[in-house]
Chain A
Amino acid sequence: MSLYETLLFFHVLGAFALVAGTTAMAPFALRWGQAALERAGAVKLAMTGSILSGIGAVLTLVLGLWLVGNVGYAFFRLWILAALVFWAIAGYSNGQISSAARGVQKGEEAARDLRVLWIADALGATLLLVLMVWKPGH
């Protein structure tokens, strides 16, 4: 495997981990499947999701920027800058949901509306994929 292929594989793998992590947080954030998982089960799944999305966030950002340099893309392009913004939105939302899950695990009740955060997270991840495929302003 060339350096480009290795970077691309782990970058894409990171994106899959990010989406899997976000999805794993859905039952906790959206209070979905409460009868089946109960609150403790949803929190446990959300904590797994936070690990996955954390790994995914690091892989996508670090290897994404490395790929920009490796392929020779100009850094100051709309699709790259917008991707960084959406990455930050998704990362912030993921972090907030993770910290709420940690709080619930310690016995605190989640004070914030996690649905909005989760929707922002999912939307950010979807728009990231749109930018990576269409590359507007390339």
Chain B
Amino acid sequence: MEAGALTVLAVVRPDAWNFPLFLHIGGAMALVASLVVALYAIRVGRIRGDQPAAQFAFRVLWRFTLPAYIVMRVGAQWIASKEKLENSDASWLGIGFTVSDLGLLLLIIGLVLTGLMARRAKAGTSVAGAGQLRAAGILAGILVAAYLVAIWAMTTKPG
């Protein structure tokens, strides 16, 4: 009976919800994927400390992670509006929006830190072992962990 109800639920999702949902999930996948690459790039930047490595770490966050975040967030807002969930106090939705909004703050801090290090490396100063890159790496790690919690909340919908 439960299986039957779930089948019906899947069938009755209006077609108009599909594109925003695709944007949201696709953006979230690209976001997590780019953060995995960023984690590695930041680590390489911290070990090598030269301009190409530091700039690569910044570019991954700037050109891939931030746009992916925007696509994910726009998709989230769009699908929430389609489902009339903007004013919902469901905990899974609260977890999603909290992770997303705090995640943006952490992402911006990470971007500023790697951007400053890329600029310093471009000026010829080595950024090997820089605390700023270490902090950016930790922030990227926290973001990946937080997004795993968000995936759990979005799929199991607690509350």
Interface set of A (CB-CB < 8 Å, partner B):
1-2, 4-6, 8-9, 12-13, 15-16, 19-20, 22-24, 26-27, 33, 35-37, 41, 44-45, 48, 52, 70-73, 126, 129-130, 133-135, 138
The docked-state distance in angstroms from the alpha carbon of A20 to that of B37 is 8
- The answer to whether A8 and B37 touch across the interface, beta carbons within 8 angstroms, is no
Q: Complex formed: what's the CA distance from A115 to B105 in Å?
A: 35
User: Which chain B residue shows the least CB distance to A2?
Assistant: B2
Please give, as numbers and ranges, the residues of chain B lying within 8 Å of A70 by CB-CB distance: 3
Task: Kindly state the separation between the CA atoms of A107 and B102 in the bound complex, as whole angstroms.
Answer: 44
Q: Does B106 contact A (CB under 8 A)?
A: no
Contact B44–A133 (Cβ < 8 Å): no
Grouping DSSP codes into helix (H, G, I), strand (E, B) and loop, the B interface class, with mixed when no group exceeds half, is helix
B33 x A36 contact (CB < 8 A)? no
Cross-chain contact B155 with A5 (CB below 8 angstroms): yes
**Which of the candidate stretches B21-29, B82-90, B124-132, B134-142 sits at the interface with the other chain?**
B21-29
Considering only residues 1-52 of chain B, those with a C-beta below 8 Å from chain A are 2-4, 6-7, 10-11, 18, 21-22, 25-26, 28-30, 32-34, 36-37, 40-41, 44-45, 52
List chain A residues, Cβ under 8 A from B56: 33, 35-37
Whether the Cβ atoms of B52 and A27 lie closer than 8 Å is no
With A36-B53, A129-B22 in contact, is A4–B30 under 8 Å at CB?
no
Are B29 and A52 neighbours in the complex by a CB distance under 8 Å? no
| Interchain CA distance A138-B30 in the complex, whole Å | 27
